[in-house]
Amino acid sequence: MTPPKAPEDGKIAAEGNMPPAVSLRVETLSKRADFQRATRSAHVAKPGFVLQMRRRRPEENVNAAIVRTGFTCSKKVGNAVARNRAKRRLREIARLALPHHGIAGNDYVLVGRKDATATLPFSQLQTDFLHALDILHGRKS
């Protein structure tokens, strides 16, 4: 079996629902201090989650061209299975939206909510996330 060859005429081999050529790089927050700084910043509460956004300072040793995200669920959300399911859903909505709608140099933290994050329809979580981003970016009130 041979690998497929690149087109010679300069056309894209498979056109379709391709991601943008230039997208933001998204990294995951891992340090407790980053989560604590985000807690003291702007936030929007939605039925399925709370979205916190923090603009990083220039003196922080983090590349300004990346977007960082964090995900957290307290024990109020449920047992480990429920918390992990909620975080998986939050990771997916962030993965789909932040490369297109996130602003470089910001940290975003998604906090799962009890009896909502794991049970709400995924499409509602997505629309709520985009609406929350618009509010935090100052595009809507």
**For the domain with range 25-136, which CATH number is right: 1.10.10.10, 3.30.1330.60, 3.30.230.10, 1.10.3720.10?**
3.30.230.10
pLDDT at position 15: 53
Residue-wise pLDDT tens digits, 54-86: 998 888 887 888 899 999 999 999 999 999 999
Q: Tell me how far apart the alpha carbons of residues 1 and 94 are, in angstroms, rounded to a whole number.
A: 37
Q: Tell me how far apart the alpha carbons of residues 66 and 28 are, in angstroms, rounded to a whole number.
A: 10
pLDDT at position 12: 54
**Residue 102 DSSP symbol:** -
Task: Tell whether the model's pLDDT for residue 141 goes beyond 80.
Answer: no
pLDDT at position 48: 94
Among 105, 26, 34, 21, smallest CA distance to 65 is for: 105
Average pLDDT over residues 103-123: 93
User: For the chain, what are the domain ranges?
Assistant: 25-136
β-sheet with 49-55: strand ranges across? 25-28, 66-72, 106-112, 49-55, 42-45
Residue-wise pLDDT tens digits, 1-60: 677 676 666 555 555 555 554 455 678 988 999 999 999 999 999 999 999 999 988 888
pLDDT at position 64: 81
Element (H, E) at 106: strand 106-112
